[in-house]
Structure 1
Amino acid sequence: MEPRATCSAAAPLVERQFRVLVGVTGSVAALKLPLLVSRLLDIPGLEVAVVTTERAKHFYSPQDVPVTLYSDADEWETCVIRAWDRSKPLLFCPAMNTAMWEHPITEQQVGQLKAFGYVEIPCVAKKLVCGDQGLGAMAEVGTIVDKVKEVLSQHGAFQQN
């Protein structure tokens, strides 16, 4: 999230623009993208952009996402994260089947992201589309939106009502 000055530094907080970049990959959790983007757009002063893999588009209709979608080859994710200004918050929401979630590599990768200072919005346990019962489902949209509001509030950008 990056502040964008619209007037002077003393402008009211609601006039300040903050940008959120949502990245979505080819997981069934991509089904939640249209709702997530709509809920984020309800936050005053927030601008939302989406970068999506082509595989992710199999899980939602691009016409149902109320912002422009930017697409690239599957390596976009590592490029964006490697180029990320680490002074700005980065939140990530893992989503995968239970076997993948329980694999030791996943623990290492999540640990590495957290070591960089990135914030995990943990996955939840439920019956997954693949039939597994357990951890791996992406956090609920409301949980993600609440965490975004919390981070914005910590950066003095959002006053929760």
Structure 2
Amino acid sequence: MTKHILLAVSGSISAYKTADLTSQLKKRGYDVTVLMTEAAQAFITPLTLQVLSKNPVHTDVMVEKIPNRINHIDLGKEADLFILAPASANTIAQLANGLANNMVTATALALPNKIPKLLAPAMNTKMYDNPITQRNLDLLKEVGYQEILPKSALLACGDIGRGALADLDTILEEIEEALA
């Protein structure tokens, strides 16, 4: 039976890498549904991810195209795994504080406890190392999220340090381990 992955994309320059991630997941036989925050859509279009995933991309928690379906609830019920990649500091903070003001956070909050939940942070080193971000990550780990650690690299802002999205091979490996 085909495994269903919810790929949530939040606002980070590394959002463009989700095109390759989506493509790689499809090539491995997974069914992929993409959720995007408004900020993510500034970096990559929903259409790109729709074409690659062969599924509608969900961008607005208040849009219900099928009257007898509540997307942010039903998508979670159908999922075998949830991954937030890239996970911005903002979306991590929203999740850690139980906010559900967009498609990504509302769906994440409604996920069944049993499914694996992965986070792949991507942000500036100072943002990642900030004690508030680290506290938020710790809170999420306490409730079952698994962090895919960012790597050290030259960041888009010109700084060098930890905060770059993990390599796609690492993310794919973590997904396959979580589903095994």
TM range (shorter): 0.7 to 0.9
Q: Distance in 1 between matches of 2:35 and 2:7?
A: 6
Q: Tell me if 1:141 matches 2:168.
A: yes
TM-score normalised per structure 1: 0.79
The residue type paired with residue 94 of structure 1 is P
Identity fraction in percent: 35
Q: Distance in 1 between matches of 2:116 and 2:45?
A: 28
TM-score normalised per structure 2: 0.71
Alpha-carbon displacement from aligned partner over 1:9-32 (angstroms, at most 9, x marks no partner): xxxxxxx12110011111111010
Q: Which runs of 5+ in 1 are unaligned?
A: 1-15, 154-161
Q: Which runs of 5+ in 2 are unaligned?
A: 62-100
The residue type paired with residue 129 of structure 1 is A
Alpha-carbon displacement from aligned partner over 1:71-102 (angstroms, at most 9, x marks no partner): 02663332122111111101111111111011
Q: Distance in 2 between matches of 1:70 and 1:56?
A: 12
1:18-33 superposed matches below 5 A: 18-33=3-18
Q: What residue is the counterpart of 2:60 in the other structure?
A: 72
Computed over aligned residues only, the root mean square deviation of the Cα atoms, in angstroms, reads: 1.5
Moved more, 121-130 or 54-63: 54-63
1:11-160 superposed matches below 5 A: 16-44=1-29, 46-65=30-49, 66-67=52-53, 68-72=56-60, 75-153=102-180
Give how far 1:33 is off: 1.1
Q: Distance in 1 between matches of 2:167 and 2:150?
A: 9
Structure that is richer in helix per residue:
2
Q: Distance in 2 between matches of 1:82 and 1:123?
A: 23
